[in-house]
Amino acid sequence: MIPVRGYQGQKVAVLGLGRSGLATARALAAGGAEALLWDDSPEARAKAEAEGFSLTDLTRATALDGVAALVTSPGIPHLFPRPHPIIARALEAGVPVDNDIGLFFRSWATPDWDRFDTPPRAVCITGSNGKSTTTALIHHILQVAGRPTQMAGNIGRGVLDIDPPQDGEVVVLELSSYQTDLARALTPDVAVFTNLSPDHLDRHGGMGGYLAAKARLFTAGGPDRAVIGVDEVEGRFLADQIGQGPQDDRVIRISSGTKLEGFGWSVFARKGFLSEWRKGRQMASIDLREVKGLPGAHNHQNACAAYAACRSLGVAPKLIEQALHSFAGLPHRSQLVGERNGVRFVNDSKATNVDAAAKALQAFPKIRWIAGGLGKEGGIAALQPLLGAVVKAYLIGHSARDFALQIGETPHEICETMERAVARAAEEAQPGEVVLLAPAAASFDQYPNFEKRGEDFTARVRALTGG
């Protein structure tokens, strides 16, 4: 646990009692603060009470009197589309509003660090897609390199729940736009921006607000190194804004598909090869084509981001290459879950929208595509130009018939259930093909979440393959 510093003997309100809220409450108590806890959900309140916490009804008009700060969970709106009523009252009263990320950055450095040979460092990753894979990959590379490391944030443990860092440790944090938008302190040593595509626009008042929320990771505290994906104009703009010209090697530009040779420091992947360039010279190259845990151009971008972050921490290219080959991938994200008779089975249940499914469909040459679920606005018509590699589609769930009308001349079969889709795809697949679950839809028609959908696919594949 990271005890929260700066609030000893003061009252701090905590709104939202999920994973991060309860971790915040414990960390505040450990730092000597009095935490006033509340959640709108009776179930969440009951769970907190079962763990021994006492509650304070923050909806009362006087509940924030004498409170030093209000700490809110990421899922609770603080500005758009409208502030939560308790947050609105805090804003009216001038009570500082923060989140666990802000508390972490004001608290994790302690006088104990004076005894360390190497101060701990924080690597923070944000972006629209690839955050989790990049975060897990950096953590994995550091482990292979023998560096002490912990992973937290939007993946794994809550940031205040981690152990106090030891000498030379690297804490790797995945941060969503909800987290970067509100944190009052953001001082990473290395900050990574993967990419940007429309998401959470209601929470940020449009694309401009969404980009601004991400950009705070780079502008609020100023990292020593910034790793920026420049495949979209927003990334190029961000790199330009924080750099002092193309030769400024504090900014490491990364790309999947574009040569970046004219910069002080860059890492890019083309035709399956990752290249590192510094001051006009190639420093290293890695063949990514046989890295099974990172298939496709989108994962090659993740590899570039992780490589750049770890190089900025002094990890040798050969160690990074070794770690890339031993990285198994994250569950439900281009995850290889089985092979049989030359056919690979890949679980990308996290591909819940068209953009994510598009990346998965471009990762393999011959695909038996399992898609469907609860379709989103616009359906999957935008995927038509990317279906050239699809040998056949096997459509499931609520939107199966709608999807069938939107995929043009692509051969397809209405399977309805995962059980039938996996069985039919496995029966018809030929050596060299990939059976790919990339639903391009939400899971809520048949499953409580995308994880359960992916677990169902994985279990049925392993029953077939004996895995």
The three-state DSSP-derived secondary structure of 222-287 is CCCEEEEECCCHHHHHHHHHHCCCCCCCCEEEEEECCCCCCCCEEEEEECCEEEEEECCEEEEEEE
pLDDT band at 377 (very low <50, low <70, confident <90, very high): confident
For residue 3, the SS3 value is: coil
Whether the predicted pLDDT of 452 surpasses 80: yes
Q: Are residues 92 and 111 in the same domain?
A: no
Whether the predicted pLDDT of 151 surpasses 80: yes
Q: Are residues 303 and 383 in the same domain?
A: no
Q: Are residues 296 and 195 in the same domain?
A: yes
What was the pLDDT predicted at 208?
Answer: 94
**Final residue of a domain: which of 283, 302, 326?**
326
Whether the predicted pLDDT of 458 surpasses 80: yes
Residue 341 inside a domain? The answer is yes
> 67 pairs with which residues across the strands?
11
Whether the predicted pLDDT of 330 surpasses 90: no
| AA letter at 233 | V
Asked whether 77 and 202 are in contact (CB, 8 A), the reply is: no
| AA letter at 310 | C
| Average pLDDT, integer, range 195-211 | 88
What was the pLDDT predicted at 355?
Answer: 87
What was the pLDDT predicted at 317?
Answer: 98
Q: Are residues 169 and 209 in the same domain?
A: yes
133 is in an annotated binding site: yes
Residue 423 inside a domain? The answer is yes
How buried is 96 (Cβ within 10 angstroms: 0-12 exposed, 13-18 middle, 19+ buried)?
middle
pLDDT band at 290 (very low <50, low <70, confident <90, very high): confident
What was the pLDDT predicted at 32?
Answer: 97
176 is in an annotated binding site: no
Give residues with Cβ within 8 angstroms of 424, minimum separation 6: 394, 413, 415
The beta-strand segments (E) located in 63-182 are: 67-72, 97-98, 121-126, 149-153, 170-174
Tokens 């939007």, residue located: 154
Whether the predicted pLDDT of 199 surpasses 80: no
pLDDT band at 315 (very low <50, low <70, confident <90, very high): very high
**Which position has the higher pLDDT, 128 or 410?**
410
Residue 5 inside a domain? The answer is no
Give Cα 83 distance to the centre of its chain. 25
Query: What size, in residues, is the chain?
Result: 467
| AA letter at 204 | H
CATH number at residue 412: 3.90.190.20
What was the pLDDT predicted at 329?
Answer: 83
Cα angle 458, 139, 305 (rounded to 5 degrees) comes to 95
Residue 3 inside a domain? The answer is no
What was the pLDDT predicted at 200?
Answer: 78
| Average pLDDT, integer, range 170-179 | 96
pLDDT band at 51 (very low <50, low <70, confident <90, very high): confident
Low-confidence winner among 152-156, 199-203, 273-277, 289-293 (lowest mean pLDDT) = 199-203
Nearest to 342 by CA among 460, 424, 430: 430
Burial 4-14 (b: 16+ CB within 10 A, else e): bbebeeebbbb
pLDDT band at 156 (very low <50, low <70, confident <90, very high): confident
| Average pLDDT, integer, range 93-110 | 97
CA distance 206 to 198: 8
Burial 210-233 (b: 16+ CB within 10 A, else e): bbbbbbbbbebbebebbbbbbbee
Most distant CA pair in the chain, distance: 69
What was the pLDDT predicted at 154?
Answer: 86
129 is in an annotated binding site: yes
* Average confidence score pLDDT of the chain: 95
> Rounded to 10 degrees, what is the CA torsion of 299, 300, 305, 306?
80
What was the pLDDT predicted at 221?
Answer: 81
131 is in an annotated binding site: yes
Q: Are residues 31 and 146 in the same domain?
A: no
DSSP 299-366: HHHHHHHHHHHHHHTT--HHHHHHHHHH----TTSSEEEEEETTEEEEE-TT--SHHHHHHHHTS-SS
| Average pLDDT, integer, range 413-436 | 97
Whether the predicted pLDDT of 325 surpasses 80: yes
349 is in an annotated binding site: no
> Structural domain of residue 446, as residue ranges?
335-465
pLDDT band at 214 (very low <50, low <70, confident <90, very high): very high
CA distance 298 to 294: 9
pLDDT band at 328 (very low <50, low <70, confident <90, very high): confident
CATH number at residue 41: 3.40.50.720
Asked whether 252 and 218 are in contact (CB, 8 A), the reply is: no
Give the count of domains, the chain. 3
Whether the predicted pLDDT of 459 surpasses 90: yes
Q: Are residues 377 and 250 in the same domain?
A: no
Q: Are residues 75 and 134 in the same domain?
A: no
54 is in an annotated binding site: no
Looking at the chain, the whole-number percentage of residues with pLDDT higher than 70 is 100
**Final residue of a domain: which of 260, 294, 326?**
326
How buried is 86 (Cβ within 10 angstroms: 0-12 exposed, 13-18 middle, 19+ buried)?
buried
| Average pLDDT, integer, range 216-230 | 94
Residue 1 inside a domain? The answer is no
Whether the predicted pLDDT of 456 surpasses 90: yes
| Number of neighbouring beta carbons within 10 Å of residue 61 | 7
Residue 217 inside a domain? The answer is yes
Both tokens of residue 238?
Answer: 């961000």
CA distance 162 to 237: 34
Q: Are residues 17 and 157 in the same domain?
A: no
195 is in an annotated binding site: no
CA distance 287 to 293: 13
**Final residue of a domain: which of 45, 77, 98?**
98
Q: Are residues 397 and 452 in the same domain?
A: yes
